[in-house]
Structure 1
Amino acid sequence: MVSSGRPWGGAGVPGIYVVLLYDVLESLNLDASALLVGLGVSRDELLAVDRRVSMSLAQTVAERGVEMVGERGLGFRYARAMSITLHGPVGLLALSSASAQDALDAACRFLGLRAPFLEIHRTRQSGQAHLQLRSTRPLGIAHDFIIEAMLVGLVFMIEQLLESLPQGLEIHRCGPAPAWLMALRKEVGVPVCFDQEENALVFPLSALEARPRLADPQVAAIARQQCEMEFRQWRTEDEGVMARRIRSALQDHPAPLPSLQGMAERLAVSARTLKRHLQQAGLSYRQLQDEERYQQARRLLVQSENSISEVAYRLGYNDVANFSKAFKRWSGMTPSAYREKR
């Protein structure tokens, strides 16, 4: 059974996001109850205020949703069903900010409170802002769904903030256009460009000066205080002390990464104690290993002097096929496809 998480007071994903996916599947006449089978949590429980679930449970649910929906644009459908108010104080802060720039700054700072598996990188190129989304951990077959939902969701949020979309706004996506695109493209409201080098939202810098229609300095100040309180608590309690120590040790350890027993010896605890701490945080040692292997693999693959077989060997794989299978599970694409996009 996968840990169902706990009320707010640690890392995780808001339960309301799982409820939203449940409802999207129901709207497609699918058996939404299959999402939660064996996970020890019900839809009603996830509706509780500030209920959170472990990231492993959230990923399991997302992967099940992708398998159930297939090629019907789950990310787009999920984003279309989401209102900015579902994001709690973070959404309220964005709505009441004095400018689109302030709303963007808030979204970037507090993204971890709502999507702790993603990060936003901001760059400026030729008068345009690029908001690039990157996963901070392997997302498996749910990768494309999550990235798609976030990018399209940001477009819909901008529309809610400003009442109309700024000219020149585009979505950039790595990989080829999906089969569902032609049927739903017009409903996205902005051009979606595929086979790009990034998963990003691109728009003119001038759009950052726009004023949200519900701008209110008093409301924004209160919402920011709430976000800052949650942020401090999240940073303090995120996945437990042991998980942070393991992540740090894995980042400092050259490939191949140590076994569970090897890590336990490094941290001067028993393997049983290490495993118990991780289970309490809704994690497993293999999950943390995979996260670090994914990061190391990405760094090695962008170096053209490393062949894919050399990258596989350095990461501890004796079989290139096994490495390719693992990398596709982490990123949604093969090592060679990832390298071609970089």
Structure 2
Amino acid sequence: MTSKAIVGSYVLVLADLLDRRGLDSKKWLRDSGLEPSSLDQPRQYLDIQEVTNAIRTAVKISHDPALGLYFGQQLNLNTHGLLGVVGLLSSNVGDSLEAGFRYSATRSPLVDLRLTESGNDAIIHIALNTDVPDDIERFTLESLIYSFGTMAHFLFPGDIPPVTVEVSIDKPPHAELYSILYRSPLTIRFNAHSNRIIFPNEVLKRPLPLANLQTRKLVEKEVSEELALLTGDSEQENDIISRVRKLITEMPGYYPSMDEVAERLAMTKRTLHRHIEKSGTNFKKLTEEIRFKDASHYLNDTDLSVTQISHLLGYNDSSNFTRAFHRWSGFTPLQYRKKSR
């Protein structure tokens, strides 16, 4: 069971909803064991038990089992922090969703979101990353579904396409509210095998009115760093090392700088250095490993001269290549070629 479920600022959105219903949100927070002053702090997460207590208490004092639907209506792009900004500045709907799902763990490690296409349909897949009680699962799914509807209405008022929603939960007593509250024609199917939102894939190509790719790139770097801090385990580090290797090798004869690789990975040079260092190596060693592999290939499998190979590896002077190769292998390039053949 994951220790982190949602970022604390979402609780403040729910508190505001309760206040507007005439309820005492401060008492609700106290009764839920939460401290209001800490909830708007960056990277302040609630664990699943805290989320469960807060949601159940909110539903109880509101006397509204459909509270998740109304909560989802409050979750516009501006409630999703920097991730919402990345989505808002993206070039089109597809890019916005891809970015949002790639970094969704910065808002809720509890939820996994994927986007696929099948025929003329675009499909948003929703899965919870841990077991939660049925009432919390329903609240979470209802919030997500109606958050997508709220964001779509904000971006394209009056022009939201028909949507089909499939959810694995049982049909609740307030099922009729699903269609009443949604902002476009909605088909809802309960007791499905999985949780999906299905809509015409032409929507993915719709341009966004506030697209600004330059600013998005800057914001995305911060979001990427936040994700790296959140999921900074060995698997994450290994994944980043694999991506660095791929970027270094994708253009034969050209070895990008650390600044270039960091930019391609949407993170700062400092953050990239920290990830590589955690894996027990450094950027120079990674580049030299790949250069050695390339050099070995040229010496073993081609008849290129040492001078030609040195130029392919980015050395202006073949003597520098010879010294580097001797450091890597213990042989000069010619000795290595003779030995290998």
Distance across 1 between alignment mates of 2:122 and 2:36? 38
Aligned mate of 2:6, from 1, 5, 13: 13
Q: CA RMSD in A?
A: 2.5
Larger relative contact order, structure 1 or 2 (CA cutoff 8 Å, min sep 6):
1
SS of equivalent to 1:236: coil
| Equivalent position of 1:78 in the other structure | 71
Deviations 1:130-176 (A, max 9, x none): 21211111221211001110111012112223344442323223345
Give the gaps of 5 or more residues in structure 1: 1-9, 239-342
| TM superposition shift of 1:222 | 1.2
Q: Which amino acid aligns with 1:207?
A: V
Identity %: 17
CA contact (8 A) 2:74 2:150 kept: no
Give the gaps of 5 or more residues in structure 2: 235-341
Q: 1:226 to 1:165 in 2, by over 3 A?
A: farther
| Equivalent position of 2:155 in the other structure | 161
Equivalent residue runs for 1:172-211 within 5 Å: 172-183=166-177, 185-190=179-184, 191-195=186-190, 196-211=192-207
| TM superposition shift of 1:31 | 4.1
The structure having more radius of gyration, on CA atoms, is 2
Equivalent residue runs for 1:1-342 within 5 Å: 11=4, 13-37=6-30, 40-140=33-133, 141-183=135-177, 185-190=179-184, 191-195=186-190, 196-236=192-232
Distance across 2 between alignment mates of 1:83 and 1:172? 22
CA contact (8 A) 2:163 2:187 kept: no
Q: Which amino acid aligns with 2:213?
A: P
Q: Comparing 139-148 with 172-181, which one deviates more in the overlay?
A: 172-181
Q: 1:15 to 1:237 in 2, by over 3 A?
A: farther
Q: 1:28 to 1:177 in 2, by over 3 A?
A: farther
| TM superposition shift of 1:61 | 1.1
Q: Comparing 213-222 with 177-186, which one deviates more in the overlay?
A: 177-186
TM-score (norm 1): 0.60
CA contact (8 A) 1:100 1:210 kept: yes
CA contact (8 A) 1:85 1:92 kept: yes
TM-score (norm 2): 0.60
Q: 1:68 to 1:39 in 2, by over 3 A?
A: closer
| TM superposition shift of 1:123 | 3.5
Deviations 1:11-42 (A, max 9, x none): 55322111111222233333434433365533
Distance across 2 between alignment mates of 1:183 and 1:231? 35
| TM superposition shift of 1:213 | 1.1
| TM superposition shift of 1:76 | 1.1
SS of equivalent to 1:30: coil
Distance across 2 between alignment mates of 1:187 and 1:86? 20
Distance across 2 between alignment mates of 1:235 and 1:48? 18
